[in-house]
């Protein structure tokens, strides 16, 4: 029986990998499937388990699927996945904060359409902090064995609570009540000195938990302070396209003295230019004093001009990269990706406040964006949108970083909104 099951699993895997190489068919051409993640608890406590359900909408004839999901393995531990009793699922492949789950139906039956629950994953919370879970990609196979690959930005963030409680003060023991003996007649009453009044101890209230610092332990605040002291004596840098009276001139000047940004060879700053993932990683690492790591963390970063800074972020647990082991340093970064990176170094509240922007609900970085908005780190547009999928400009990226520094060191910088 075990041998038959092994043969069946191998056959299933061969089938899946063979259809992977097939070009997408017309059956999927008119599809526009949507995917979402939902959690049974948005704020689990350490050692609690909770479930993340992956759902698809507007699906058409999905006979088999393979999905790839990433999660913060420093704060969460994968426990199991359940794709339902019908059909057959391979054992999940779990590695370095990613999990791959594959499932197929069996026999001559149509694939599933419409709104479908693909799988329910159980995680265990193992450490305090904001743990991001992100659906990276899916491979969908229909009943005719036509396959398509779908990228997804669906995600969720579990705000893991450390479960620390304020100690409850022990009750002050009181003397046990005893029967007072009947007074005996005293032949000659003598004056008894009045007993001294014993002050009643005032109950000590339970010590409240000290407020968490703005930055978590991924960042060394002393390193930032050292950069600030060095910036005090740094020479002022001027850019030819940033007039002294420009709205953001002072902020850009401070960032330049910190060594966070440099101009181009022609002396320009180019505030409206888009920023690559490598450029933002460089600004981020320099702003927060992250030391360069000597060991490469991504296969496509070796030899890159920003390799040291990117590897420093990887070593600090701030970035994880893509499922294939790449970072894509020269790809333009989005506003949602920046929010995710910034929130990963900030102690965020487990309280989920109402959405701040009209286009953020449902975004994989929704909790990160809202948390940063609560602290004034990110700003939206006049129409109430945030544009999470839009590419960030150099000025937008820099302002987010400088607001973080302002909150961290209480600089009271006059950073324009």
Tens of pLDDT along 156-166?
888 887 654 43
Query: In what helix (H) or strand (E) does residue 50 lie, and over which residues does it extend?
Result: strand 49-62
Rounded Cα distance between 113 and 99, Å, is 24
Q: Which pLDDT tens digit goes with each residue over 16-50?
A: 444 444 344 334 444 578 888 888 888 888 888 88
Residue 282 has pLDDT above 90, yes or no: yes
Global pTM? 0.52
Helix 394-409 with 335-343: angle, nearest 10 deg? 20
More confident residue, 198 or 235: 235
Mean pLDDT, to the nearest integer, of 213-218? 75
Band the pLDDT of 154: cuts 50, 70, 90: confident
Query: In what helix (H) or strand (E) does residue 173 lie, and over which residues does it extend?
Result: none
Task: Report the side by side order of strands in the sheet with 34-39.
Answer: 34-39, 49-62, 112-125, 76-82
Mean pLDDT, to the nearest integer, of 246-272? 90
**Residue 307 backbone dihedrals phi, psi, to 5 degrees:** -60, -45
Residue 202 has pLDDT above 90, yes or no: no
* 77-83-88 Cα angle (round to 5): 120
61: left (phi over 0), alpha (psi -120 to 50) or beta: left
String of b and e for 274-297 (b: at least 16 CB within 10 Å)?
ebbbbbbbbbbbbbbbbeebeebb
Q: Which of 59-68, 139-148, 201-210, 352-361 has the lowest mean pLDDT?
A: 201-210
């Amino acid at each position: 029986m075990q041998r038959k099951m092994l043969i069946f699993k191998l056959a299933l895997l061969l089938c899946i990998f063979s259809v992977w190489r097939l070009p997408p068919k017309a059956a999927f051409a008119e599809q526009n499937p949507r995917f979402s993640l939902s959690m049974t608890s948005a704020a689990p406590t350490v050692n609690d388990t909770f479930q993340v359900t992956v759902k698809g909408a507007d699906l058409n004839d999905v006979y088999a699927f393979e999905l790839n999901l990433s999660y913060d393995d420093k704060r969460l531990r994968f426990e199991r996945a359940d794709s339902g009793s019908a059909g057959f699922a391979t054992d999940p492949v779990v590695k370095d904060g990613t999990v791959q789950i594959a499932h197929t139906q069996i026999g001559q039956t149509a694939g599933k359409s419409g709104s479908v629950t693909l799988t329910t994953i159980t995680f265990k919370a193992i450490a305090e902090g904001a743990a991001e879970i992100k659906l990276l990609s899916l491979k969908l196979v229909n009943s005719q064995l036509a396959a398509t690959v779908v990228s997804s930005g669906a995600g969720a963030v579990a705000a893991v609570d450390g479960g620390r409680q304020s100690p409850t003060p022990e009750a002050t023991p009181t003397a046990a009540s005893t029967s007072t003996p009947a007074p005996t007649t005293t032949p000659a009453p003598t004056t008894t000195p009045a007993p001294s009044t014993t002050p009643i101890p005032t109950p000590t209230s339970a010590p409240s938990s000290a407020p968490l610092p703005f930055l978590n332990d991924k960042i060394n605040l002393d390193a930032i302070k050292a950069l600030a002291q060095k910036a005090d004596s740094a020479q002022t840098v001027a850019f030819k396209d940033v007039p002294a009276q420009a709205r953001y001139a002072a902020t850009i000047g401070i960032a330049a003295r910190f060594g966070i940004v440099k101009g181009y060879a022609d002396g320009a700053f180019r505030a409206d230019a888009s920023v690559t993932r490598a450029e933002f990683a460089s600004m981020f690492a320099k702003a927060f004093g992250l030391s360069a790591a000597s060991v490469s963390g991504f296969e496509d970063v070796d030899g890159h001009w920003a390799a040291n800074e990117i590897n420093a972020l990887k070593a600090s647990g701030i970035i994880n990269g893509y499922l294939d082991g790449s970072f894509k340093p020269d790809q333009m970064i989005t506003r949602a990706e920046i929010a995710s990176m910034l929130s990963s170094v900030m102690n965020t509240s487990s309280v989920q406040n109402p959405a701040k922007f009209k286009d953020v609900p449902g975004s994989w970085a929704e909790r990160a964006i809202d948390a940063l908005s609560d602290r004034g780190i990110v700003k939206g547009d006049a129409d109430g949108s945030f544009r999470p999928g839009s590419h960030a400009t150099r000025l937008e990226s820099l302002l987010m970083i400088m607001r973080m520094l302002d909150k961290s060191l209480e600089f009271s910088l006059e950073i324009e909104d």
